[in-house]
Amino acid sequence: MQDTVIAIVAILAVFGTPVMIVAIICFTSMKGKKGSQNPEDAKMIQEIYRGLEKMEQRIESLEAILYEHKK
């Protein structure tokens, strides 16, 4: 059971972050139909990206804890 949870979390962390970033960029660029993004949008995307990176690090830490606990 724990192996399944760890695998699911790992897959979401590794593949979910880039997918979310691409989705946000696509949505933002389609919303305005502009050639360039507004600086506020770019800042928001950067903040989301940083938040997702931090979340990925936390998930990796939790995976390590679960792995060590299992031993």
pTM: 0.49
**pLDDT score recorded for residue 16:** 75
Q: Domain locations in the chain?
A: 2-70
**pLDDT score recorded for residue 67:** 84
State the number of CA atoms in the 13 A half-sphere of 15 facing the CB: 6
pLDDT, tens digit, 9 for 90 and up, residues 14-67: 777 777 787 787 777 666 655 556 788 888 889 988 998 999 999 989 888 888
**pLDDT score recorded for residue 22:** 79
